[in-house]
Amino acid sequence: MPNASANHLSRRGVLAAGGALGLGAVLAACGDDDAKSSGSESSANTSAKSGPWTFKDDRGTTVKLDEIPANIVAFTGVGAALYDYGIQVKGVFGPTRTTDGKADVQAGDMDVSKVEVLGNVWDEFNVEKYAALAPDVLISTMFDDAGTLWYVPEASKDKIAKLAPSVGISVYDRQLTAPLERLWELAESLGADMTAAKVTDAKKRFEAAATRLRAAAKAKPDIKVMAGSASAELFYVSGSNLSIDLEYFKALGVNFVEPPESAKKEGGGWYESLSWENVDKYAADIIMMDDRSSALQPSAITEATWKKLPAVKAGQVIARSPEPILSYDKCVPLLETLAEALEKAKKVS
C-alpha cells in the first residue's frame, strides 16, 4: 500500500483501522466513486450448467470465459453470500476460521472444512495453493474507487492476477442495496436459481425489515445511534458516509452520531479514533459495535469510561456487521436488530 496521505491509509493504518470497518478492515479511501453501479452481462441463465460466461464488474472490467466458472476463489464474505444462493466456492481468503477452529462470523453458513483457506488474516494469501486450485475466477469486494481487491495482498497481487481473471464488487460509498443487487446478478450469472423460494423469500423479508426500520426511525427521531469499534488502545467512531450499511440506514431515517470530517481525516474519512478517556465525546442512546473477530467485543471491554456511558448502562448496545455478507438472507437481521433497538430505546443521552 502507498504511504499515508490525504487520500490513502498506510498499511499500519489499515491494520489499526477499527471505527470504519474494524481492525484490519479499511483500505485507502480515495475520492468519490463515479461509477455507483455497473451492469452485468451474462449468457448464463438460472438453469445453465455450462456455456460461455460474461460479467462486467464494478471496475468496468468485463470478464469473458468459455464456460461458467467452476473453480471459484473468493473473499470469505463473498463466498458466504454465494453459498446462500447455492454457489459453492473452492477456495477463500479473509477471516474464515476463529482461533478455536470454528467458522468466523464472516463465513456465514459455509462449511469451512470444505473450502481451501488461502489466507485467514490480513496480508496472508498462499499463492501456491491458489494455483493448485486451477482457479477460473477470483472474486472480492472493493473498499475504494481505485479497484483494489479486498484482502488481496499488495506484494503478491501481480502473481495472483496472472493465474485467473478477477471480479470486483464495490462496497465503497453507496447504500447496501447496490452491492446486494450486484451479488444477486453475479450469482444468477453463475447459474444460481434466483427463483427458488429460499431466495425470493429472503428478499421479501429484507424489504419488510427495511419498512420496519424506516417506521422505527420515524417514530424515534431523537434517538442518536453511534457506530463504534474497539481495540485495547482505542475506540473508533464511524461516520455514516462511505459504509454501505450506515449509508442505507441513514437513508431510512436513522439519526447517527456524525464525527466532523476534520476528525475523520486520520481515518481516511471513515472514522475518528478516540482514547478510552475520551470515549464519552459523543452523546448516544444506542451504540452499534463491530461484531467481527478482529474487534474487541463489548463483553471484553473493561474500561470504566465505557461502562459509564449512558447507552451501556441502559443495555442499549447492539452488534453491527461493518462488512455485511451480501445476501438478502444475511442482511435481514442487520435491519431487524437495529429496528428492534430503536423500537425499545429510551432517550438516555
Q: First and final CA of the chain: distance in angstroms? A: 40
Integer Cα distance of 222 and 283 in angstroms: 12
Integer Cα distance of 298 and 237 in angstroms: 14
Q: H-helix or E-strand containing 210?
A: helix 197-219
Which pLDDT does position 338 carry in this prediction?
Answer: 98
Asked whether the predicted pLDDT for residue 6 surpasses 70, the reply is: no
At 143-163, the pLDDT tens digits run 999 999 999 999 999 999 999
| Cβ within 8 Å of residue 289, ≥6 positions away | 228, 229, 230, 295, 297, 298, 317, 318, 319, 320
At 60-119, the pLDDT tens digits run 999 999 999 999 999 999 999 999 999 999 999 999 999 999 999 999 999 999 999 999
DSSP structural state of residue 143:
S
At 255-275, the pLDDT tens digits run 999 999 999 998 999 999 999
Per-residue cell: 243: 459504509
| Cβ within 8 Å of residue 183, ≥6 positions away | 78, 81, 82, 85, 169, 326, 327
- β-pairing, 224-230 vs 255-256, is parallel
Q: Which residue has the higher pLDDT, 41 or 303?
A: 303
